Structure 1
Amino acid sequence: MAACLLSDAVANSTGPDEHVELLGRLLRAQIRAGAIAAARETRREAVEYAESLGRDDLMIAAFTAWTEPTPWQTRTYGTVDRPIVDRLSRLLERELTPSVRSRLLTAYANELVGEDDPTVLEAAQEALDLATGPRLRAAALEILAEVHGDAELSQELVEIGTEHDLPVYRITGRLHHAAIAAAANDPVTMRRVTAEALDLARTYRMPEAIAVAEITLATLALIEGRFADAAHLYNKAGEGMRRTGSVHAAGFLQLALAVIWLNDGTLGAHLDDVRAVHAVLDPMTTDLLALALHANGLDTEAREVRASSGPIRPDFFFTFLTTLRAMAIVALNDRDAAEEIYATLLPHRNGPPAGAESTAVALRPVAHTLGELAVLLGRDHEAADHFARAAAIAAQWNAPHWAAEARSRATT
């Protein structure tokens, strides 16, 4: 309702300053409603309008109007809006007040977080140093907590949200903490803080945060082998994302369901569905498609698909995507590729189920896949060690199906 009223007000605005101010109010209402794609479009409209007038002051107003944090990135996975980044870089060359510069720095960092770009940390740290109030401090801390994987920073977000009555940071702080707990092989804390975040998100009617928390709980169900529960939660969250206009709605639900099929051994029965999600999320799903093709005996096509794969991004999906690639390499008996992927995954051998740190999807522990790669490479002793480690990690995550499989492989 608020967004509809503000859209009407924007259409009837009487001058440039009022027009941009109303667009800023509109994008904040859209963010609170979970309509992140619409909010980005509203901001783009305000920025381009200001640019058409040669008014940097209005462009700054457009960027600093985005004051609400979001639990997930505000752009489609693997993309960067370079025109937006370039405009922010140009504005940051101006003389600015500390509070305005801090807000622009967090806007800049948010456009690049997840990329292999050292300026993200530099911008977030400077934004924190310049912060003149709790909102600005929290905005910078949120980026630093994500990049550093620091539970103490996430807890500070929660404390700021509690002390200054900013419930959005009480929620996002907990969601960041869930990802950090996952990376630390701590599913108990992951579940607890996610449940707390979900309760708060429902209380304050924050649709995107509700969906993110539900997806995290779906991931835990997937890890535990409760595939029907996982599918139910993913479907529920996916519907909420579509309804509100999340930038991640396109393809995510289909990806999550495909991961369930891979885990429960039915991927081959869904080849057409995997082709469809690959059409939306290529190159993220190239190795998943290769596995589905292999399951249908289409190894020639699977190898052609595998040959088209590119480098894997070093972000929160790294172990998930690298494990998918390793699984395809093992399935296709590609010894030449196995050596390199083995070395890539080895530093993560003690880590959680692959992808758990994304709190979105997961596969069996990295150690299990290392065991399979070691078998392919003829390193049986190393394989046994990896499988034993995988069994222990799976047990820690209450995943008896994975633990049993890894134990059986460790003794063969």
Structure 2
Amino acid sequence: RPVVVALDDLQWADDASLHLLRLLASELADLPVMVLVTARDPEPGSPLEGTLGSLTGRTGVTILHLPALTTADVAEYLFERSDAEAAAWVHRQSGGNPLYVRELARLLAEEPVPQEWSSTWLPVELRALLTRRMAQLDEPALAVAGAASVLGDEFDVQVLEQLLGRSVPDEIGVSVQRGVLLLDPDAPGSARFSHGLMRTALYSALPSARRVELHRRAAELLERDGALEREEQLGELALHSLRAASTPDERRRAVERLRLAAHAATRRLAFDEAARLLRSAAATARLGPAAGEERAAIEVELATAEFGAGFVLRAVETARRAVELAEQAERPDIAAAAALVVSGVGDTQTLPRLLSLKERALRSMPPKPTPLRVRLEAQIAHLHADLYSPAEAEAASRAALQAAEALGDHAALVDAITARHFVVSGPDGGAERDALGARMIELGQNPSAAGAAMWGHLWRVDVALELGDLPRAHAEEAELARVVERLRRPIADWHLLMVRAGLALTAGRLDEAERLAHDARRLGYRLEDFSVVGVTYALTGEIARLRGTSDEQADLLALVERVTYPIAKVDTAYIVAVLGDLDVARRLHDQVKPFIPTLPVDGRWLPTVCLFAQTACELGDPDGAEGCYAALLPYASRCIAGGAGSVACTGSVSTVLGRLTALLGRTEDAHRHFAEAIAVNRRIGVAPYLAEALLHWSKLLAPEDPAAAQPLAEEANAIALRLGLRVVARESASVLDRVREGAGRTGPDPLTRREREVAALVAEGRSNREIAEHFVLSERTVETHVSRILTKLHLSSRTQLAAWMLARD
């Protein structure tokens, strides 16, 4: 019987234990025994190093050198406990050491991640461990390593020697031997700390006066070397200046350099770095002697960087502080600039705060039309349209666009066109939205309005999906991808992921759509805009509805309680109704029912009414069906997609019209609408929604015309089996059974008794070998059975066979 012996932490073993291990290794090669040993990298010259050396190359001995964890490994370990920024920080601090990663992960929820690279934050649990490692250095080496910690995780040895005014090869050598420092063989003269926590421990141990002195000397060296003229060194110079600042003049100089470095980072689209630098600038400016208007300007720059990095809530709060400071300094222009920073978000809890902030800034502006005033008026019109009604913002959006045209200012035009787009985002505004999108793409050619092109392509994707023009939607997606690559902004990445996820869903590539939606969701949580997280749940909820699974139903229901948009409630109601939770579906449906007749006809109107109508059909509730039918009938030739940010094209509106008229007992109208829906869905290539239209028509036809229903149900079933649409597969199989019973025949089973038995075990997930053992057959015979079954059923995989069996049973 095989035996496994595990020996952990062998680095603590005494000489006798190591000797025993060497003896065991020579005796166990031919025995069913595995000795599994774990140990840290041995200290040079230690007994463990000698033992491992003597075992190397022996028969039956394998030595595995485990590399440090990568940033991706750390992110996977942290999973939902943290975001990408924190994962990168943990990796940087730990150097990929699993012990340090574990300790940092445990403490991460209790203490914030430090923003500056020179932070002295250090978990108490690790301090003792690192202190023991530092104690292995002699006094000269410890002093040099401490000075090096001021320069960062990586440093140039020559710069360190300039900082100390002497040569330090012996001290560097001792630190390398003790594992505190590492030399880079590919970069002679460069060194780095073995992990960031060691550097932090050394830095925190420096006396405060010594730390300030070293930072001041480092800043002087950089300035003497021309760092002010080299953008790549501005950040380093700024941080040394900040750490050395102890007088008003030094603080003023530090703030100037921090802002210069932040501007350089912004030009590189490194918004996270710019935000970190500007947070330090704002905090330092608060200490004096910066004037109120300078502090307000810094806060505007910080809000802009935070918004660019995707930190929406932080940017809103920073903009609020900037407006207050600008008002105190009697600078309405700075207040306006602050209020304009955050736009284009959809979180219902954030929008009222933004509207209040923008209206507050507008009240302090002179009445004369200026680019800042027109931009504020445009953004306010957009928010009124979003929060209340597009009709209320109609006149304001037109006026803002006319004023922007008269001024000829790019930024004003972008904001005015954006506001106008939302006002006309309903299904009647497609042509104007298309033209506005083209205008935004044109404006986006100007570097100062690069983000405009992203919105232009997104709007044109919406138009294409509403018209069912999928080739055009794919062409716009390709152009969007090129724009997003240039922008390098998280919100742009999110939009691209969602467009791609929606197109994959529309085509029936559910696995791909789900993967992209989950990628977008992870990014959405970082963006601090709850609406973008909700949109990802809408898409994965639709995938779950098609698959007949309810894995995320609890999360979806918790999410929908937070939002006020009717579309979120009707979407969730439809999903849970199809999945069988009719009580919850009816509760959500009834909450929205009173508001449907008076919904503003904006970009959410068409999908909202379609989802409400489909839920009514699932619940068998004709109340309001006639009104929905009358409202939707003018758009029978359209596809179900939103005009203000489509998730996907979910097929022809005629499918909904067919279901409504079937619910109302108007059979002839239902037949006509279903025929139109099937023709449209087949032409544009939306396979999942073609299958659903076929299913709904076959269910209507089955009682009165089984012969006509059968081919519809068969095609729906074939598509469903191919795409994994379990609900359609099950219901279409049920229609086929009823049709055959109604015709007085059940139809011959295409499989033999043995083939059906084999298919049943395949559906349970059994392998060919397990099936062979079950029936006492050869594995080759089972392979032949499975191949013949797939051929008979026109299937191509065991997964499809499992779905076929589920649908039949």
Provide the TM-score with structure 2 as the length reference.
0.46
2:302: which partner in 1?
26
Equivalent residue letter for 1:334: D
> Which residue number in structure 2 is paired with residue 337 of structure 1?
624
Q: Distance in 2 between matches of 1:17 and 1:206?
A: 29
Which residue in the other structure is 1:90 paired with? 363
Which residue, out of 427, 432, 435, partners 1:152?
435
Given the alignment of the two structures, is residue 265 of structure 1 paired with residue 538 of structure 2, yes or no? no
1:374-393 Cα deviation digits (max 9, x unpaired): 00101111112211222233
Q: Deviations over 1:92-127 (max 9, x none)?
A: 6x3335223222223323433434123442343244
Q: Which residue does 1:311 correspond to in 2? A: 595
Name the counterpart of 1:323. Answer: 610
Alpha-carbon spacing, 1:261–1:207, altered in 2? closer, same or farther (3 Å): same
Matched, 1:100 2:369: no
Residue 210 (structure 2) pairs with residue 210 (structure 1):
no
Residues 355 and 341 (structure 1 numbering): CA distance in 2 closer, same or farther, change over 3 Å? same
Aligned to 1:6: 278
Shift of 1:400: 2.2
Return the alpha-carbon distance in structure 1 between the equivalents of residues 438 and 571 of structure 2.
36
Contact 2:466 2:649 in 1 (8 A): no
Deviations 1:350-398 (A, max 9, x none): 2113447632245343211111010010111111221122223323432
| Residue type at the aligned position of 2:356 | P
* Pairing 1:138–2:453 present: no
Are the aligned partners of 1:258 and 1:274 in contact in 2 as well (CA < 8 Å)?
yes
1:113–1:187 Cα change, 3 Å: farther
Q: 2:372 is aligned with what amino acid?
A: V
Residues 147, 188 of structure 1: alpha-carbon distance in 2 compared, 3 angstrom cutoff: farther
1:199 corresponds, among 482, 485, 503, to 482
8 Å CA contact retained: 2:401, 2:413? no
In structure 2, C-alpha distance between the alignment counterparts of 1:150 and 1:290, rounded to whole Å: 30
Q: What's the CA shift string for 1:39-70, capped at 9, x where partnerless? A: 2222222224445x3x5x43442322466786
Aligned residues: 405
User: Does 1:64 pair with 2:343?
Assistant: no
Greater alpha carbon shift after TM alignment, 228-237 vs 116-125: 116-125
Q: Is the 8 A contact 2:359 2:380 kept in 1?
A: no
> 1:97 and 1:300, CA in 2 relative to 1: closer, same or farther beyond 3 A?
closer
What amino acid sits opposite 2:541 in the alignment?
A
Matched, 1:277 2:277: no
Q: 1:213 to 1:157 in 2, by over 3 A?
A: same
Structure 1 residues 178 and 122, CA gap change in structure 2 (3 angstroms): same
Tell me: CA distance 1:39–1:126, structure 2 relative to 1, closer, same or farther (3 Å). farther
Q: Secondary structure at the match of 1:266?
A: coil
Residue number among 463, 466, 479 corresponding to 1:183 in the alignment: 466
- Relative to 1, partners in 2 of residues 1:204 and 1:89: Cα closer, same or farther, differing over 3 Å? closer
Q: Which one has the largest radius of gyration?
A: 2
Choose from 332, 339, 345 the match for 1:74. 345
Tell me by how many angstroms 1:188 deviates: 1.7
Secondary structure of 1:95's counterpart equals coil
Cα distance, 1:259 vs. partner?
2.0
Give distance in 2, aligned partners of 1:176 and 1:299. 35
Q: List per-residue Cα deviations over 1:280-300 (Å, max 9, x = no partner).
A: 335543334444554565544
Distance 1:89 1:386 in 2: 50
Matched letter for residue 478 of structure 2: A
Q: What is the RMSD computed on CA atoms of the aligned residues?
A: 2.9
User: What is the CA–CA distance in structure 1 between the aligned matches of 2:371 and 2:652, rounded to whole Å?
Assistant: 44
- CA spacing shift, 1:189–1:228, aligned 2, 3 Å: same
Q: Specify the alignment match of 2:505 in structure 1.
A: 222
Tell me, in whole angstroms, the C-alpha distance in 2 between the residues paired with 1:167 and 1:289.
36
Q: Deviation at 1:21? A: 0.8
SS at 1:316's partner residue? coil
Q: Which protein has greater RCO, CA pairs closer than 8 Å, 6+ apart?
A: 1
Give the 3 Å change call, closer, same or farther, for CA 167–125 of structure 1 in structure 2: closer
TM-score by length of 1: 0.87
2:316 to 37, 40, 46: 40
How far apart, CA to CA, are the structure 2 residues paired with 1:107 and 1:305? 32
- My pick for the range that moved more, 289-298 or 218-227, is 289-298
CA contact (8 A) 1:185 1:351 kept: yes
CA distance in 1, matches of 2:561, 2:521: 18
Unaligned ranges ≥5, structure 1:
none
CA distance in 2, matches of 1:284, 1:353: 13
- After TM superposition, give the deviation of residue 87 of structure 1 in Å: 1.9
Counterpart residue type for residue 468 of structure 2: N
Q: Of residues 569, 579, 590 in structure 2, which corresponds to 1:286? A: 569
Q: Distance in 1 between matches of 2:491 and 2:458?
A: 12
**How far apart are residue 33 of structure 1 and its match?**
1.9
> Contact 2:340–2:358 at 8 Å: present in 1 too?
no
Separation of aligned partners in 1, 2:648 and 2:451? 24
Kindly indicate whether the alpha-carbon contact (under 8 Å) linking 2:650 and 2:689 is maintained by their aligned counterparts in 1.
Answer: no
- The residue identity in structure 2 corresponding to 1:11 is A
More off after superposition, 212-221 vs 176-185: 176-185
Please say which of residues 385-394 and 139-148 is displaced more in the overlay. 139-148
Matched, 1:349 2:636: yes
Between the aligned partners of 2:339 and 2:453, the Cα distance in structure 1 is 18
Inter-partner Cα distance in structure 2 for 1:87 and 1:68: 14
